[in-house]
Structures are given as structure tokens and as C-alpha cells.
Amino acid sequence: MSSRRWIASQDEGLFKLVGHGIQLAEFYHSHSYCGYCGNNMTASLTKWASLCSHCHKRYYPQIAPCIIVAIRRADHILFSQHRRHKKSQYLLY
């Protein structure tokens, strides 16, 4: 089994596909039961959604793109910045 970090280093398209797959798996796992009436949900055959056959509620996954940003100055990286602080805190890396 490969880690997501290894997949990201190999192929960007594959990494995005794996990321969507993981989020969809979590969505279907966490939407086994209807949040409105409590009955079993079924996965839609035509779209990414969970359907309740009892009350006909429909739930869609929220795919959350994410980025991690490093703000660097020379050989330092920004650690924290807030308007309450008199100056930003940088760490040497």
C-alpha cells in the first residue's frame, strides 16, 4: 500500500483522484443513516449523493480542496502572525 505523500510525489492527477476518493469514502461512511429521519441511506447510482428512501432527503458530499502554504523570508518561515502581536514570528529552517 502506498501513502498519500508518496502518491503526491509521483503523479499530481493520481493524487487528486485519491484525495477525492478518500473524501467520498468518508462521506458515504458518515452518511449511512439519514440525518433527518434516521433511516438507512443508499448511494445514488447517477451522482455523488446519498438518498433516503423514507423521507426522500438527498445529501451531497462536500469536497474540500486544501492547500498548505509556506511564507518564507530568506532562510526563515513564518510561524505566526496576528494583529495582537507586535511583530510576526519566524522560525529558522
Stretch that binds Zn ion, among 11-19, 28-36, 66-74, 78-86 (CB under 5 A): 28-36
| Residue 77: C-alpha distances to residues 38, 74, 80 (Å) | 48, 8, 9
Interactions with Zn ion, residue window 42-71 (CB under 5 A): 52, 54-55, 57
Q: Enumerate residues 6+ apart whose C-beta is below 8 A from 81.
A: 88, 89
41 sits near Zn ion (criterion: CB under 5 A): no
> Which one of residues 25, 37, 43, 71 is an interface residue with Zn ion (CB under 5 A)?
37
Which residue has 503526491 as its cell numbers? Answer: 8
CB of 61 to Zn ion, least distance (A): 17
* Distance of alpha carbon 72 from alpha carbon 39, whole angstroms: 51
In the complex, the residues that contact Zn ion under the rule CB under 5 A are 34, 36-37, 52, 54-55, 57
